[in-house]
Copies of this chain bind each other. A is one copy, B any other.
Amino acid sequence: MTVTLADVAAHARVSPATVSRVLNGNYPVAAATRERVLRAVSELDYVVNGPASALAAATSDLVGILVNDIADPFFGIMAGAAQAHLNTPSDASAPIRTNAERLAVVCNTGGSPARELTYLTLLQRQRAAAVILTGGAIEDAEHSAAVAAKLARLAEAGTRIVLCGRPALGGAEFVHATLSFDNRAGARRLTGHLLSLGHRRIGYVAGPAERTTTRHRLEGHREALAAAGAADDPALVLHGSYDRASGRAAAARLLSAAPDLTAIVAANDTIALGVCAEARERGLRIPEDLSVAGFDDLPSATDAVPALTTVRLPLYEAGARAGALAAGAGAAGHVEVVPAELVVRGSTGVVRAG
């Protein structure tokens, strides 16, 4: 039923081998022959059989991108950027050359350790060409070990491992490249900004407890408080998930328990939006009555809330870089850390909270 490479070969009066060579363009073929083959291909509307080709070549053109929450633009931006840069030069809107094109597989773990592992297995089963892990990792020794083991096996089978917005795996030489965010410095800078404006009672709505981003950002916040000699009241720190509902609930609790708060730092913009919603519900004006500061880079959200102080992470750039690295660009085994000044880049232009 479906057209095979052999059909094309017959139609073009050449051998299957030649057709394969033309299609993969990795071998010299006479111009005339090539023409003939190409014509046959389009005449028969032939499409390579990915699985067969992957089996024979022992590698596929699938690239897995693991995200914690596909509905969160934080990941959407990174994933989109990575995907756009998986296939070298090309401007994003250009039609992709259908052949030998890498296909991004965005996998939504929902923050679940189990699903993270399962997806890695699924990608291993597909013999993925690369895997990009994005966002904060779960801080659990057992799970970390399991992930590391899985990644090691993947790498061993030829899959390129790239970390984006994820802390480096200590001494894991199977990681092709790491693009880690300096969350600690970013948070330090963010809280430092609020302190410099005179705020002293600052609430903090953190992310889920066992996440690296949660911990690092919170540590940065505390470092800033310490550096300014401000009190670090544990009652002002609340944990929750990285979503609006959580941010809103936390703000409600904070504002009830400590009405003297003048500012609230949110561990990410999604949470910040929830905090803003709660503030408005209570008739508080932002930033006159309450300053709210978010962390991520969600221009779509933050612009809508002029009161939001944002430390811009170069999300898109990081994702783009990760995509290119996954595609094989850059030196293997090289660990790259997004420098602090890049992480907070642009923040001066964005800071608007009072």
Contact = CB atoms under 8 A, between A and B. Distances in A.
| 8 closest Cβ pairs, A-B complex | A95-B114, A51-B54, A71-B76, A106-B106, A273-B304, A51-B51, A50-B126, A50-B125
A248 B302 CA distance: 13
A51 B60 contact: yes
Q: Chain A contact residues (Cβ within 8 angstroms of B): what range? A: 35 or more
A173 interface: no
A303 B248 contact: yes
Given A47-B124, A73-B73, A95-B114, 4 more contacts: A70-B80, A84-B108, A243-B300, A248-B303
Contacts of A52: 51, 55
B51 A126 contact: yes
Interface string A282-301: 00000000000000000111
Most-contacted residue by chain B among A106, A115, A156, A274 (CB, 10 A): A106
Contact of A303 (B106, B107, B273): B273
Contacts of A276: 304
A289 B340 CA distance: 42
A270 interface: yes
